[in-house]
Copies of this chain bind each other. A is one copy, B any other.
Amino acid sequence: MAPPSSEEPVCAAAEAAGAGAISKVLVVIAMQTEALPLVTRFQLVEAAADESIFPKGAPWTRYHGDYKGLHIDLVWPGKDPVLGVDSVGTVSAALVTYASIQLLKPDLIINAGTAGGFKARGAGIGDVFLASDVAFHDRRIPIPVFDSYGIGARKTFETPNIVKELNLKVGKLSTGDSLDMSPHDETTILSNEATLKDMEGAAVAYVADLFSTPAIFVKAVTDIVDGEKPTAEEFLQNLISVTMALDQAVLQVVDFVSGKRISDL
């Protein structure tokens, strides 16, 4: 057998490192206010009408571009066609995640967004968390087994190296379609042991799991759920500034992901 040329071992090593390297990242975001700073940060461009991958009628919007060896697609469910507000909540998030997985075949999903936080569990305004677990808190089906289906608790894809390297807080996330919190929601959120409360995460996780796509959840705290101020007021007050913290954390995560394999996360 001929000895390898001087280049060959280098190539082989590079190939080994490259084997299974993450190349396509899908960022799923619920609100335009949360999405635009990341669009700017990664210098993404909005998909033109003639390169739209989504079917006619879908308000879903896609931005895309290359960044440090990754192809990034950022999608958000867009504005409601009739009312003109962001299409927040589980149904829209599930739909755009599903369509994007099928059409873009991402290696990794990052669901980034704002969330309510529980100070009793250590959350403060502007904190950025990675969610270790997700569950729903507004799907009560008091029939055996259906009850577990409704709650839909699942562990998210584990990323011990991201947690260690970026020094992010870790907590459980509970998802529901209301911005406020009813007493029934609160009971379930407590039983879900959630530090964070959002309106999309568990739905994104459900769809990602169905199609075996690793998904991580980066959530920045805009309002303290167990605090004094009304959620809607506090949410709107902090949305812009907390979005900057979110933006910074997503940038760090993507920088970490660049050149890595899924198993390196």
Question: Which residues from chain A sit less than 8 Å from chain B, CB to CB?
Answer: 55-59, 80-81, 83-91, 94-95, 98-99, 102, 136, 138-143, 145-146, 148-150, 176-180, 182-184, 203, 206-207, 210-212, 232, 235-236
Cβ contact within 8 Å between B210 and A178 = no
21 CB-based A-B contacts, threshold 8 Å? A55-B102, A58-B210, A81-B210, A83-B148, A85-B145, A86-B146, A87-B149, A89-B139, A90-B90, A91-B203, A91-B207, A138-B178, A140-B179, A141-B179, A141-B180, A143-B235, A143-B236, A146-B179, A182-B182, A182-B183, A182-B184
Q: Closest chain B residue to A80 by CB distance?
A: B149
Given contacts A58-B210, A98-B99, A149-B83, contact A180 B91 (CB under 8 A): no
Question: CB within 8 A of A91: which of B59, B94, B179?
Answer: B94
Q: B residues within 8 A CB of A182?
A: 140, 182-184
Given contacts A57-B211, A99-B98, A210-B58, contact A178 B139 (CB under 8 A): yes
Cβ contact within 8 Å between A59 and B138 = no
How far, in Å, is A10 (CB) from chain B's closest CB? 37
Question: Does more than half of chain A's interface fall in helix, strand or loop, or is it mixed?
Answer: loop
A91-B91, A138-B138, A182-B182 known; 15 new pairs, CB 8 Å cut-off, are A59-B210, A80-B149, A83-B148, A85-B145, A88-B146, A90-B91, A91-B94, A94-B95, A95-B95, A136-B177, A140-B179, A140-B180, A142-B180, A182-B183, A182-B184
Cβ contact within 8 Å between B177 and A150 = yes
Q: B residues within 8 A CB of A80?
A: 149
Q: B residues within 8 A CB of A94?
A: 91, 94-95
How far, in Å, is A254 (CB) from chain B's closest CB? 26
Give Cα distance in the complex from A179 to B147, angstroms. 10
Q: Which of A140, A206, A235 has the most CB of B within 10 A?
A: A140
Given contacts A182-B184, A203-B91, A210-B81, contact A232 B59 (CB under 8 A): no
Question: CB within 8 A of A95: which of B98, B177, B212?
Answer: B98
